[in-house]
A and B are shown apart, each in its own frame.
Chain A
Amino acid sequence: MTEPTTAAVTQSLTAPMPSPAGWLRFRNWALRTPFIQLIVLIALSAVLVALVPAFIARPQAAIAVLVLASLLALAAMGQTLVVILGGLDLAIIGYVTFGAMIASNATSRLGWPVPIALLVVLLVCGGVGAGVGWLCHRFRVQPLVVTLGVGVMLAGGSMFLANGDYNGQPPQELKSLAQLSGTTFGLPVPPVIPIVIVLGVLIWVVLAKTSAGRKLYATGINPRAAELTRINATAVWASVFALSGALAGVAGMLIAAFGSGWSQSIGEPYLFSGLAAVLVGGTTFGSINGSFTRTALGAVILTVLSTIIVSQGLTESQSRIVYGLIILGVVALYGRERHVRDRF
């Protein structure tokens, strides 16, 4: 009988695990990529076309679905980053309301040109978001509560500034960005779709190819380890929440342009459906597999789904029920936590 040599023991500890084969390998791959979402989307689109054949004859209908989906995806873009960081941004409600209010009222009542309005929205929402992120990380406060409070403050503040005036109209150049009659370089596609795609590619580049993206994932997965590798976690939190605010504010402007105006409850559906899009896409709290690609897929899935539901004569409230069931189902596939027994 021979004693194992030190070298053999060391090698057995440092050698990589054998990569799994067969079904296990496929399962790991399917969970790492948005494979399931893609399958679901294709299936749902087939169902939609089968139920409503008009979708083939009139591309306008498909473009309408895509415009709704891209507005939802834009509102959920910042939320995706926040969820990767392990937080939650409920202030989306306030950012969207503020953006919509500026886009509708400041432009028509005060005569602000669109670039000024955009700048104000970016500065205010981004600044508020940065403050929230700093506060949450510096004092170890749950972002859930702080963003909740800030969202209510922003929504209330927007209504106070508007002074009960809900009749403002966004200017024509803003409307042509989001409304269905808009065209991009002669194509019958409203510019909002390419805008969201370009932003999505940018986010992908930042998340996957730059050190900023690595820092974001690292902080989300293990804040303590991230700080020990000298990542400035406070800066990461502040910039991610700032980005979330700025993007949601811009989404609010485009949502107001799409709907030709605003109301006090304009932000609410985008908060909850946006969160649903993030979760259905398969991004969970502090996950390495989270990305905006997933959220965009989630947004399209949800929009196609609610189109199907509404086309079958059911109501918006029934699509809420289906949303809830889908969130629970998808997250049960992806984001299950470990049992206490296994953490003991």
Chain B
Amino acid sequence: MTRILRFLQRHAWAFASLLALVLLAINLLVSPSFLAPDRLPATLATLAPFVLVGFASTPSILSGGIDISVGPLATFINCLFVAVLLPSGLGDWYSAIPILLIVAGAIGTVTGLLVTVARLHPVVASTGVLFILIGLATTISRAPVSAPPNWSDGLAQSYGWMPGAAITIGVVALAWFLLRRTTYVRNLLATGESDVSAFGSGVNVTAVRILAYTIGGIFAGVAGIALSALLQSSQSSLATMYALLGLAAAVLGGTALGGGKGGLLGTFFGAVVIYLLQQLLTAIGVQPSLVQFAYGLVLVVGVVLGATLLSPRLTRSRA
């Protein structure tokens, strides 16, 4: 028992993956066709925005800050693509993808500059950016605009045998995998664990932090594209929901809010848990309001479990 516990403590993602497996099994019991190959692309496409927004909120949390504006950033990119780029003729993939990712990365960088150079509290800085993004998104598309047929459609279905959503998630996962080969992620974790010690060891704390927010912004841009692929319309009203879901996925995945512990793998399983829970509750016919209740409950129970049973540091951190 203690060995299991120690394994869970050492690997932040293990608890979420265990929970995901259990929920997957229950889901298969309730609706056996859940993983049928012909349903897989649609399932993954619904899952992709959850996962990607979770990915987007992870780097900033790892750096010891927090960015609650990534969810609204994803919906802003969605509105920008559907309500501005597509009507103005810039909607081809070779022009739209660079524009969207550069805009998203730039907005992430601005948040990062506000946190590091202007030295605002991360919650305050990202709340300010959240207001601006929600305002911009509703200015661009007050009512949902539906998109004409376009290339992003394929990302919600499949290219040959390959589900389109595997591309959006895969690109981000690959980018993170490559980053892990560099010293950057190690510096990021060191900064999150203790910025003072990292600074003393010669890490350029400011640059590492700014880059964390930039990366989060770019990931949120990919999330916006995946969202557009799924919805095929602009939905500015989803902003707050995704702001909450992204955080929830990262926290459930074992990413410590103090920074320095966690990673994208955990966030992936965290998002899967949220998605499977939603599917399960909908499949057994629970009201949407109770699904929302369950979201909140899972989040609270998850974070308390993570802080008590699964954290070896509790005794040390008592004042």
Contact = CB atoms under 8 A, between A and B. Distances in A.
B303 interface: yes
Interface stretch (B2-10, B40-48, B292-300): B292-300
Interface centre among B195, B196, B258, B296 (most CB of A within 10 A): B296
Contacts of A233: 319
B138 A317 contact: yes
B162 to A, nearest CB: 35
B128 A328 contact: yes
Interface in B94-132: 114, 118-121, 123-125, 127-132
B299 A156 contact: no
A151 B300 CA distance: 10
A144 B120 contact: no
B131 A323 contact: yes
Main secondary structure of the interface of B (DSSP, over half): helix
A327 B121 CA distance: 12
A319 B292 CA distance: 29
A339 to B, nearest CB: 7
Nearest to B240: A268
B134 A145 contact: no
Nearest to B133: A324
Contacts of A144: 66, 123, 247, 257
A340 B199 contact: yes
B135 interface: yes
A246 B56 CA distance: 34
A209 interface: no
A142 B300 CA distance: 11
B308 to A, nearest CB: 5
Interface string A330-343: 01100111111101
Contact of A336 (B118, B138, B244): B118
Given A140-B307, A340-B195, 13 more contacts: A135-B304, A140-B317, A141-B303, A144-B66, A148-B296, A148-B299, A152-B292, A153-B293, A157-B289, A160-B293, A285-B123, A319-B135, A327-B131
24 contacts: A139-B314, A141-B303, A145-B248, A145-B299, A148-B248, A149-B298, A149-B300, A150-B296, A151-B296, A152-B295, A153-B300, A154-B296, A156-B291, A157-B293, A275-B127, A317-B135, A317-B142, A321-B136, A324-B131, A327-B127, A328-B114, A328-B124, A332-B118, A336-B118
